[in-house]
Amino acid sequence: MDVLVIGLGYVGLPLAIQAVRSGLRVTGYDTSEQIVAGLMAGRSHVDDISDADVAEMLAAGFRATTDEAAAGPQDVIVICVPTPLSEADGPDLSAVRAATGTAGRLLRSGTLVSLESTSYPGTTEEVVRPLLEKASGLTAGIGFWLAFSPERIDPGNPVYGFRNTPKIVGGLTPSCTDAAQAFYAQICDQVVRAKSAREAEMAKLMENTYRHVNIALVNEMAIFCRELDIDLWDAIRCAATKPFGFQAFYPGPGVGGHCIPIDPNYLSYKVRTLGYPFRFVELAQEINSRMPSYVTDRAAELLNRHAKPVNGAKVLLLGVTYKRDIADQRETPARPLARKLLSRGAQVSYHDPYVPDWQVDGQAVARRTDLDAALADADLVILLQAHQAYDPAHLAGAARLLLDTRGVVPDAPHVEAL
């Protein structure tokens, strides 16, 4: 089986390697010269995929290309391109449209096209289908197969990877679902059939929205629990002992990555076409996006209590990625937080084993590589990402003043949890 993966990023590359390992002939197409050149030179740009993994793919015959003509024809085409927000905060499907154009030109009778990019329910049928039919002259469900299969990749997760995470497939027709099931059954352990593409699209957004809303719930609780003198972290620890009906979510400095801050907007966009808002998502968005400001205020308050103004204070940010133990900085809340601290005159530096250089609004932020020296220098340390490289007890011992946004540092007079 010949498989083309369009978009070789956090979603496409892990899929490509799994398909190669399952014995399929895989080509990767990406519009980025840099990414394609890197992969062909054996370099991975994605967390969880090592250079050795890329070497293994190349040895098994994988090729990456920016040349559409060199990419086809194919039995299966999987679209894994970005779905960001437009300036008006609505869906930006330009990459999906462009990739669909590529797929349409490369598909032949009997090809399966699977969309993995997260988008609002109806995208596969209303956006992808007409473009494919126009470019190919074939009809979906008769001449070729079309399905949506949401990616559930969890970067940095040591237990669940592509293979052992159940894969949802929803086709335009039952035959499309059959074709998608037959393909994905070769590369992952369990395939879950959705009623149609719309339910598969909705399932993905439901998963993301569920996390978004629950994180907002605990973030809002964190703010009022502090005023009520309640240790929310301890309350969550206690509540989490209930063996049923409760799942623990934890407060933090804000949400990052793609799935939480961006994807639920795709759903609220779709709901708004009905003439009313999706209030839960919009409220969650508002609460989560306010967290960097809240952390800045807490930092200022803490410094003030120790007779230090923010203006001129040396503030060290620990962990500036959006998630622990990965290098991805997309939508990281560390950036708005640093922006706010800088605007108040703080001298901001950062330490992060995964981030060699870091900019905020085009300005480089000073990187500290010697953790102990950085901790000793700082008037205030803010723990943003509890990377495994950070020993919480050591941080408590070495920092003069510490704001712990992850609730992992042991209690001490100079340590404050969010």
Spatial distance between the Cα atoms of 363 and 293, rounded to a whole number of angstroms: 20
Closest CA to 161 of 307, 319, 343, 13: 13
Neighbouring C-beta atoms of residue 78, cutoff 10 Å: 31
Comparison of 191 and 408: residue with beta carbon closer to ligand NAD: 191
Taking the least distance from each CB to ligand NAD, the nearer of 29 and 145 is 29
Judge residue 3's burial from the number of C-beta atoms within 10 Å of its C-beta, 0-12 exposed, 13-18 middle, 19 or more buried.
Answer: buried
Contacting residues toward ligand NAD, per CB under 6 A: 6-12, 29-32, 35, 80-83, 95, 98-99, 102, 116-118, 151, 153, 155, 258-259, 263
Q: Cβ of residue 386: shortest distance to ligand NAD, in angstroms?
A: 19
In three-state secondary structure terms, 210 is helix
User: How near is the Cβ of 185 to ligand NAD at its closest, in Å?
Assistant: 20
How far, in Å, CA of 345 to CA of 262, rounded?
30
Q: Tell me the backbone φ, ψ of residue 254, rounded to 5 degrees.
A: 135, 175
Which residue spans within 33-173 are E strands per DSSP? 63-65, 76-79, 112-115, 145-148, 167-171
Burial of 137 (0-12, 13-18, 19+ CB in 10 A): exposed
CA distances from 109 to 101, 104, 113, 168, 181 (A): 16, 11, 11, 24, 18
| Shortest CB 369 distance to ligand NAD, Å | 27
Q: How far is the CB of 130 from ligand NAD (least distance, A)?
A: 17
**Minimal distance, residue 67 CB to ligand NAD, in Å:** 11
- Asked if 169 contacts 197 with a C-beta cutoff of 8 angstroms, the reply is no
Q: Work out how close the CB of 270 gets to ligand NAD at its nearest, in angstroms, rounded to a whole number.
A: 15
Token pair listed for 269: 């966009």
Q: In the complex with ligand NAD, which residue's Cβ is closer, 47 or 379?
A: 47
Phi, psi for residue 2 in degrees, rounded to 5: -95, 125
| CB-count exposure of residue 333 (10 Å: 0-12, 13-18, 19+) | buried
Orientation of helix 197-227 relative to helix 232-239, angle to 10°: 130
| 259 assigned to active site | yes
The residue whose Cβ lies closest to ligand NAD is 9
Residues recognised as catalytic:
259
